[in-house]
Amino acid sequence: MLDLPFWFVVSALFALGCTVGSFLNVAIWRIPQHDDWIRSLRGVVYPPSACPGCNTRILSRDNIPILGWLILRGRCRACDIPISWRYPAVEALNGFLWVALYLAIVPQGWLVDPISSCVWTHLLPGDAQTLGREAVFNRALWHFVYFLVLAEGLLVATFIDFDLQIIPDGVTVPMAIFGLAGAIITGSTALWPVWFHDPDLVTTLGLLFPDNWFTWWEGWSIPGWISAWPRLHALAFSLTGLIVGAGTIWLVRALGSWVFGQEAMGFGDVILGGVIGIYIGWQASLVVFFLAPLIALLGLAVTFPFVRDRTIPYGPYLSIATLVVILGWQPIMNRAEKIFALGPLLPLIALVMVVMLIASLWIVQGAKRLLGITDNFTIEPGEWGSADQLIFFANRRPEATSGQPLTGSVWEGSNSGQGRLHSQKWQGNASPWNR
């Protein structure tokens, strides 16, 4: 147990979260600048931060999270160009994220009860009586660190995907390495059994099928090797999560591309889904997969009057859904337990759902054709293309190609085409939400 006052722990976590959030701002800006994930990670730490307008090194006192931006009044000390408000916003958001994860995952108080942790489950062995209060706290603390790494990566992926509609390997590959390494080293990362079923279903199925069909099912609910080999189970939990998490999104991507005749989902979303599965397992990754579109529809309903872009980045909503499932693990997964307890019947259910997905995609495509909505984006000879658009805007705004800081906003396509998008967003001249 931490023998520290509660207010001190929360304040320290918020301060640390804001400090790390300042580093995440650098990662959001620099990681997409390199295709190779190793080079992108090197670019995060070198060269030191400098103003993109005048190239002046940022002083240490100006790098204080949130306060530095407030003291500078959102402008560079040397050249007075504006610094985007998103920088202190990301720092504050990360600070609150650290506090929220700690309070939800780590049981509070001296009388430690594992059920007070949001990620506790009755399906795995171990409670306060068998483990002891100190062991329960230490295991919850490790879960906090483990899922904190996931949350930090999801935060970086979310803002990059919102900005550029890509999820670089520089974000997902380190997350995957840490997730698998944590499973092997500690053996305590699994939140659910990698496999379980309800033996009582044999009685129900016996009403429909001959009794001798399911004799192998009786008495086998949670395999004994799960508690006997915790490291092997944690690795199996992560690997099956990787396969199912990535495979589900890849399947939707492939079917959507087949039906609609164009890419329906980026491959970065496939990799992100696999990484999420490493941390939360294959069952929870399926819950995230179905929850993310609901959150996306809610976000679309709120932003539709202001943003009319038909392209919706899926990564941010996968990230939000993942945090919702982690923080609400007990109420969400306790209800999902009834579905995953079906055991060997799950592949049959999955097959039926795939058929229903294909049918629904064809129905949507047919409805679009009846309404005259076309997805044909090919440019015929003589039509105005994206390159023409870039040249047109660059010529209308000559300052966009000059080396001087902008005093106003420029169309993001022009900035992106000239490699100036990140610099302009840092200066606050290009809103990260205008798509």
Is residue 426 pLDDT above 60, yes or no?
no
Is residue 87 pLDDT above 60, yes or no?
yes
Work out the average pLDDT over 69-84. 86
- Is residue 249 within 8 A of residue 270, CB to CB? The reply is yes
**What is the per-residue pLDDT across 163-218, written as a single tens digit (0 to 9) for each?**
888 899 999 999 999 999 999 998 888 889 998 877 777 666 655 566 666 665 55
Is residue 122 pLDDT above 60, yes or no?
yes
- Please give the share of the chain, as a percent, with pLDDT higher than 90: 34
Q: Which of 32-46, 173-187, 259-273 has the highest mean pLDDT?
A: 173-187
pLDDT for the residue numbered 4: 75
Is residue 66 pLDDT above 60, yes or no?
yes
Confidence bin at 432 (pLDDT 50/70/90)? very low
d(CA 304, CA 296): 11
- Between CA 272 and CA 357, with CA 296 as vertex, the angle to 5 degrees is 75
pLDDT for the residue numbered 202: 63
Distance of CA 369 to the CA centre of its chain: 34
d(CA 123, CA 44): 41
Lowest mean pLDDT among 64-78, 94-108, 362-376: 362-376
- What residue spans define the domains of the chain? 171-370, 389-426
Confidence bin at 129 (pLDDT 50/70/90)? very low
pLDDT for the residue numbered 396: 47
Distance of CA 169 to the CA centre of its chain: 13
Is residue 345 pLDDT above 90, yes or no?
no
Confidence bin at 220 (pLDDT 50/70/90)? low
Residue type, 366: G
Q: By three-state DSSP, how is residue 167 classified?
A: coil
Is residue 74 pLDDT above 50, yes or no?
yes
* DSSP, residue by residue, 77-138: TTT--B--THHHHHHHHHHHHHHHHHHHHSPPSSS--GGGSTT--TTSS--HHHH-HHHHHH
d(CA 150, CA 157): 11
Print burial letters for 293-304: b (CB count within 10 Å at least 16), e (below 16). bebbeeeeeeee
pLDDT for the residue numbered 77: 84
Q: Which residue has the higher pLDDT, 257 or 111?
A: 257
Residue type, 322: T
Is residue 394 pLDDT above 90, yes or no?
no
Tokens of 154: 């999801």
